[in-house]
Amino acid sequence: MSSKAKIMVVEDNIDELKLIKMTLEPEGYEVVTAMNGKEAQEKISGNKPDFIILDVMMPEMDGFSFCSWLRSNETYRDIPVVLLTGVGAHIYDSKYPLKGVMQSEADEYLEKPLKPEDLLETISKLLKSN
């Protein structure tokens, strides 16, 4: 079996991170993880991914900031990015409004709780179009 794409998952919730890995690895994807945007910046140079799954709300560097950094970097700007957000349910008590998610430079966004089939379908669609 040929190996599939390398996917970087940037998520500070360890349970969600494990769930995403458990969804991707059986499908043949190589998974690289980071707990926040700063850690992702450190890891990306040695592990350039084909795809990035990025949480919005994280300590140190949030998903919006990391996505903006990514898009401003010539080496990484074309990597497809899916933002994960739970702000839909908490829109009024969050500093991360849904409007900001929709205006970000991500290719797509998915709301939490994440459905594995939606994630896999989105990854497949964006990798084919890239």
* pLDDT value of residue 90: 44
Mean pLDDT across the stretch 14-23? 96
* pLDDT value of residue 104: 62
State phi, psi for 128 to the nearest 5 degrees.
-70, -35
pLDDT tier at 74, thresholds 50, 70, 90: very high
pLDDT tier at 3, thresholds 50, 70, 90: low
Determine if residue 60 is left, alpha or beta; phi over 0 gives left, psi from -120 to 50 gives alpha, anything else beta. left
Residue with tokens 């040929």: 2
Residue 115 lies in a domain: yes
Contact 105, 81 (CB under 8 A): yes
Residue 1 lies in a domain: no
Q: How many domains does the chain have?
A: 1
Contact 56, 64 (CB under 8 A): yes
Mean pLDDT across the stretch 39-54? 94
Q: For position 84, which CATH number holds?
A: 3.40.50.2300
**Structural domain of residue 124, as residue ranges?**
6-129
- For residues 40 and 103, what is the distance between their CA atoms, to the nearest angstrom? 22
- What mean pLDDT is reported for the chain? 86
DSSP 57: S
Residue 66 lies in a domain: yes
